[in-house]
Amino acid sequence: ASGPAFALRGTIEQLREEAYRAAQAKQYEVAAEKYRALRGAAQQKKDPRLAVQALNAIAGCHYGLFQYRDALRLYEEALGEAEK
């Protein structure tokens, strides 16, 4: 397979792996940026499940940074999207 869909799929997997590794290393700012990019790619691909998972992960990064209000807001946003 080739073309834009293949490139996007590769990008998504790469972003997911990079974000996960950054989060595991407690580099939450870096992880959040990667998860934001992953969310954008998921939305472009029209993959709402992955977009919600990425948003939930962004919330987790805020939690890891002790930014509890932002984390809660993002968790609630993810929940709202998941319930659609």
Rounded Cα gap, residues 29 and 68, in angstroms: 14
Mean of pLDDT values over 61-77: 98
Judge if pTM exceeds 0.75. yes
pLDDT confidence tier of residue 9, bands split at 50, 70 and 90: low
d(CA 71, CA 64): 9
pLDDT of 2 reads: 47
**Longest alpha-carbon distance in the chain:** 43
The answer to whether residue 18 scores a pLDDT higher than 50 is yes
